[in-house]
């Protein structure tokens, strides 16, 4: 169920391949609204990486913006340092479109980028720092996931599990099973679910 409002004001870009992972990264996971976010910072005591990221996502299937800043650097004079930071966002199955806003930039470099793998969006920030130096990086992306209609539990197929969820929620309001978003779970939603029943499920 893709929302297409306001996208015309954004610049559509295509994500490149994900870079290979860097060794000795330290990863931290947090879960919010049932969605897992993973941050990775290269583990080196001479590095300083200050991050702040915000996602306005409410549910696993919601359209959302992700934005953040990263300031990184080190204080080793006469040393060359590679510093890397990653921020990964779990996505439900479905077609993903990412819109990159104008305020997606770095100072003096192009070392902020994003990439898509199945059910995962990763923002990469990295750079090589010669001498004592700090730089800041900014991203802002809008993320749209077109999940299959009727896939209530977001596992990529429409089957008996979704049917059971819909029946459990029958007659209720503000439900994930309200597939046509008219406010109530009823026979219209059941029709949508059955019309999208997955082959072989
Ligand atoms: Ca399902
Ligand atoms: Ca409905």
At 76-129, the pLDDT tens digits run: 888 888 888 999 999 887 788 998 887 666 655 557 888 998 889 999 888 888
Mention the CATH class of domain 148-201. Answer: mainly alpha
What pLDDT sits at residue 3?
A: 39
- Which SS3 state, helix, strand or coil, does residue 160 take? helix
- Whether the CB-CB separation of 49 and 83 falls below 8 Å is answered with yes
Q: How far is the CA of 172 from the centre of ligand 2 (A)?
A: 9
Q: Count Cβ neighbours within 10 Å for each residue of 172-185 and write b for 16 or more, e otherwise.
A: eeebbbbbeeeebb
Q: How far apart are CA 172 and CA 59, in angstroms?
A: 18
pLDDT in tens, 119-148: 899 998 888 887 788 888 888 999 998 777
> pLDDT: is 21 or 99 the higher one?
99
What pLDDT sits at residue 109?
A: 53
Least confident of 13-27, 29-43, 143-157: 13-27
Q: How far is the CA of 22 from the centre of ligand 2 (A)?
A: 46
- Around ion ligand 1, residues with a beta carbon closer than 5 Å are 151, 153, 155, 162
Q: How far apart are CA 125 and CA 71, in angstroms?
A: 10
Q: How far is the CA of 163 from the centre of ligand 1 (A)?
A: 9
What residue ranges of the chain are covered by domains with CATH 1.10.1330.10? 148-201
Q: How far is the CA of 29 from the centre of ligand 1 (A)?
A: 25
- Torsion angle of C-alpha atoms 149, 147, 11, 51, degrees rounded to 10: 140
Q: How far apart are CA 29 and CA 143, in angstroms?
A: 20
For the chain, the farthest-separated pair of C-alpha atoms sits apart, in whole angstroms, at 70
pTM of this structure: 0.69
Rounded mean pLDDT, 189-198: 90
Q: How far is the CA of 131 from the centre of ligand 1 (A)?
A: 52
What pLDDT sits at residue 108?
A: 55
Q: How far apart are CA 42 and CA 40, in angstroms?
A: 7
What pLDDT sits at residue 91?
A: 87
What pLDDT sits at residue 27?
A: 93
pLDDT band at 17 (very low <50, low <70, confident <90, very high): low
What pLDDT sits at residue 12?
A: 35
pLDDT score of 4 more than 80: no
Q: How far is the CA of 174 from the centre of ligand 2 (A)?
A: 9
Q: How far apart are CA 49 and CA 85, in angstroms?
A: 8
Q: How far is the CA of 152 from the centre of ligand 2 (A)?
A: 12
Long-range contacts of 17-25 (CB under 8 A, 24+ apart): 17/115, 18/115, 18/116, 18/117, 18/122, 18/124, 19/115, 19/124, 19/126, 22/82, 22/84, 22/126, 25/84, 25/86
pLDDT score of 201 more than 60: no
Rounded mean pLDDT, 179-185: 89
């Amino acid at each position: 169920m893709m929302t297409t409002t306001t996208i015309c004001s954004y610049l559509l870009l295509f994500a490149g391949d994900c870079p290979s992972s860097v060794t000795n990264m330290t990863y931290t996971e947090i879960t919010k609204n049932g969605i897992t976010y993973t941050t990775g910072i290269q583990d080196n005591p001479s590095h300083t990486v200050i991050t702040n990221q915000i996602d306005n996502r409410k549910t696993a299937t919601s359209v959302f913006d992700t934005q953040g800043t990263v300031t990184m650097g080190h204080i080793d004079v006469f040393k060359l340092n590679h510093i890397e930071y990653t921020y990964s966002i779990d996505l439900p199955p479905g077609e993903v479109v990412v819109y990159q806003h104008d305020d997606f930039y770095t100072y003096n470099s192009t070392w902020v980028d994003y990439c898509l793998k199945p059910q995962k969006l990763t923002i990469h920030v990295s750079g090589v720092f010669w001498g004592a130096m700090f730089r800041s990086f900014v991203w802002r992306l809008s993320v749209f996931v077109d999940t299959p209609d009727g896939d209530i539990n977001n596992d990529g197929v429409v089957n008996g599990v979704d049917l059971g969820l819909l029946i459990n929620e029958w007659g209720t309001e503000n439900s994930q099973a309200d597939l046509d978003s008219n406010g109530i779970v009823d026979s219209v939603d059941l029709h949508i679910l059955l019309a999208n029943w997955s082959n072989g499920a």
